[in-house]
Amino acid sequence: MNATLSLGRTIGLRSPLLYGHFIEHFHRQIYGGVYMPGHPLSDGQGFRTDVVEAMRHIHVPVLRWPGGCFVSAYHWKYAVGPERTPMFDKAWRVEDPNTFGTDEYIALCRKVSCAPYICTNAGTGTPEEMSDWVEYCNLPNQGMFAAQRIRNGFPQPYGVPYWSIGNENYGFWELGAKDAQEWGRLVVESAKLMKHVDPTIQLSAAALADLDWNVNLLKHCGRYIDWISIHRYWNLMPEKNDFATYEETMAYTNDLDTEIRKVRGLLMAMGLEKSIKIAYDEWNLRGWHHPNVHTIRQGVDVDAYLTPRDLNDRNQDYTMADAVFSACFLNTLNRNCDIVGMANFAPIVNTRGCIFTHEKGIVLRSTYHVFDLYVNYLGDEVLESWTERGKEMAVLDKNGRQAAVQELDVLATRHRDSGMLAIAAVNKHPEQARSLQLPEVPNGVRYRAVTVQGNSTESYNDIGREEVTLRAGDWKPFHAGLTVLLPPHSVQVIQIQ
């Protein structure tokens, strides 16, 4: 039985920021990842040229830094200028040399041609420290911190447009966690100071889909913030590196828009949906593995809390399950483009990231190819669409409960400049292909399918092993009633000119 795609009105324009990324001082994301001074593959500033090129290829629009949990005990002033003071990172319990700081981060953003998005220390930091950081980055020459930047060799202001007040400060695991009342007061005072330095910046504040937290935040700060920040990792594995199977992962796709709906409803109830957007500024299917750190009883020996982090870098764990899930979530973001304006895949390099570095090069994991597909082949105008006669499949979720999951996830878009239709079609079924009848396109002349797929649900990429690829098919004549085949466990963009 075929599924039939129908098109409706235009929902809105998708922001390029939906395809943003994130990088933190955790394990090998910075040191040993994007920043390796003296390495044969690094440039004169210490950046891995292969990583930078891979980031440029997927047109990373915005890069959130430096955390993450790391930021809640990070003091930026120790990591600028010629003399760097190493710090003990109390969040992840390692020494950070502070050789990668604000100036290096801005240099990376410029190499990648992306917008910087700085997350500030709202754990052990102060509103004044946050506003001093804005001074350093954005004031032309007024004040001691702009003068310090100039002395450090950077006469022109950095013009950082996006700033976040805090990271997950609602959580017991976060250093300097706050309750809802404390948080509202801290955010409003921080926002006032930061916008007194630069009124043009856009501010977000750490939040979650919780009524009490958000009502208090928005009552205090709704006039000052431009974004509300939410995070989600579906397959959480902090203590036990227990990966959900392909079918268990498909069960998670029933729960992709829960937080968006809750926060949207609250913004609408408070009359703020026109002035504040959602920044889903940390997301990934897989949560990071870091045992014996976010617990009352801390690991003492490095083999108890540090060595296990190497398990994050096992390429064989990042399969077509990750690719299919990520495509479904990107479809969800696009369908909510009227309220979700930014999203940041966490992280971009190493651990659970879409790029893996090794001594002789990089590996592009399955999720990288999904970003390649959506950034380079999908349109920017999102269309209302529905799929008729789509089938459901029965799967067991991570808790062993049966769930009914829609097999297909289809998103219709159009390129504003050319009028070309671009339809993202995800077939979640692990083994069976599905047929999709394309909509009537009066001026349609030809079409092609660009596909991310592996031979099995367990296909992955590793050093010397490339099982998940992006392949562009040939252009073929288009006609009314055309049906295309969607391979099992695949992600496609079907372009119609």
- The tens digit of pLDDT for each residue in 105-151 reads 999 999 999 999 999 999 999 999 999 999 999 999 999 999 999 99
Hey, is 29 helix, strand or coil?
coil
Closest by CA to 46, choosing from 117, 118, 107, is 107
| Local structure of 477: helix, strand or coil | strand
For residues 122 and 203, the answer to whether their CB atoms sit within 8 Å is: no
Residue 447's pLDDT is: 97
Q: Which of 377, 394, 418 is the last residue of a domain?
A: 377
Under 8 Å CB-to-CB from 444, ≥6 apart: which residues?
A: 421, 478, 479, 496, 497
User: How far is residue 41's CA from residue 109's CA, in Å, rounded to a whole number?
Assistant: 18
333-367: pLDDT as tens digits:
999 999 999 999 999 999 999 999 999 999 999 99
Q: Are residues 267 and 283 in the same domain?
A: yes
Residue 180: give the domain boundaries: 12-377
Q: Which residue has the tokens 């067991």?
A: 396
Please give the structure tokens belonging to residue 463. 């050093």
Q: How confident is the model at residue 169 (pLDDT cuts 50, 70, 90)?
A: very high
Same domain, 53 and 160: yes
Q: Mapping DSSP to helix (H, G, I), strand (E, B) and coil, where does residue 43 land?
A: coil
Number of structural domains (the chain) is 2
Q: Is 346 exposed, middle or buried (0-12, 13-18, 19+ CB in 10 A)?
A: buried
Please tell me whether residues 359 and 408 are part of one structural domain: no
Find out whether 287 and 233 touch, Cβ atoms under 8 Å. yes
> Quick one: 334 and 456 in the same domain?
no
Question: What's the pLDDT at 296?
Answer: 87
pLDDT score for 157: 98
Contacts of residue 102, Cβ cutoff 8 Å, sequence gap at least 6: 76, 79, 80, 118, 133, 136, 137, 158
User: Per DSSP, which regions of 288-368 are E strands?
Assistant: 340-345, 355-358, 361-364
pLDDT category, 186, cuts 50, 70, 90?
A: very high
- Share of residues in the chain with pLDDT > 70 (%): 100
| Same-domain status, 46 and 153 | yes
277-286 and 227-235 as β-strands: parallel, antiparallel, unpaired? parallel
Q: What is the DSSP letter of 250?
A: H
Q: Write down the H helix ranges in 336-478.
A: 366-377
pLDDT of residue 488: 98
Q: What is the mean pLDDT of the chain?
A: 96
* Helix residue ranges per DSSP H, 308-365: 320-335
pLDDT of residue 353: 98
Question: Residue 390 — very low, low, confident or very high, per pLDDT cuts 50/70/90?
Answer: confident
What pLDDT is attached to residue 5?
A: 87
39 contacts 48 by C-beta, under 8 angstroms: yes
SS3 50: helix
pLDDT-derived band of residue 451, with 50, 70 and 90 as boundaries? Answer: very high
Quick one: DSSP state of residue 454? -
Task: Supply the CATH number for residue 487's domain.
Answer: 2.60.40.1180
Q: What is the pTM of this model?
A: 0.97
Distance, in Å, from the CA atom of 84 to the CA atom of 100, rounded to the nearest integer, reads: 9
Three-state DSSP state, 146: helix
Shared domain for 290 and 224, answered yes or no, is yes
Query: For 155-212, where are the E strands, in sequence order?
Result: 162-165, 202-206
Task: Give yes or no for a contact between 64 and 116, defined as CB atoms under 8 angstroms apart.
Answer: no
* 426 has a pLDDT exceeding 60: yes
CB 365 within 8 A of CB 358: no
pLDDT score of 211: 85
- Core vs surface per residue 199-227: b (16+ CB within 10 A) or e: eebbbbbbbbbbeebbebbbebbbebbbb
Can you give the pLDDT at residue 326? 98
Gyration radius of the chain's alpha carbons: 23
First to last CA, the chain: 26
pLDDT in tens, 231-265: 999 999 999 999 999 999 999 999 999 999 999 99
Query: Residue 113 has what pLDDT?
Result: 98
Residue-level pLDDT at 231? 97
pLDDT at position 218 is 93
Phi-psi region of 458 (alpha: psi -120 to 50; beta: other; left: phi over 0): alpha
353, 27 Cβ separation under 8 angstroms: no
- Contact present, 189 and 147 (Cβ < 8 Å): no
pLDDT for residue 311 is more than 80: yes
- Residues 373, 389: one domain? no
Percent of the chain with pLDDT over 90: 94
Which residue has tokens 């390495």?
39
Query: Which of 335, 356, 377 is the endpoint of a domain?
Result: 377
What are the phi and psi torsion angles at 113 (to 5°)? 65, 45
Cα–Cα distances (Å) from 31 to 61, 118, 209, 357, in that order, read 22, 18, 33, 11
Quick check: 169 and 123 in contact, CB under 8 A?
yes
Q: 103 and 154 in contact (C-beta within 8 Å)?
A: yes
**Residues in a beta bridge with 232:** 283
Are 135 and 231 within one domain? yes
Predicted pLDDT of residue 389 = 79
**Type of residue at 137:** C
Q: Mean pLDDT throughout 299-312?
A: 96
Is the domain of 141 the same as that of 159? yes
Domain's final residue, options 322, 349, 377: 377
Q: Rounded to whole angstroms, how far apart are CA atoms 286 and 253?
A: 13
Q: Does one domain contain both 181 and 248?
A: yes
The SS3 call for residue 124 is coil
pLDDT at residue 44, rounded to an integer: 97
Choice among 6-10, 87-91, 155-159, 243-247 with the minimum mean pLDDT: 6-10
Residues 84 and 176 in one domain: yes
| Same-domain status, 412 and 327 | no
For the segment 287-304, the average pLDDT, to the nearest whole number, is: 94
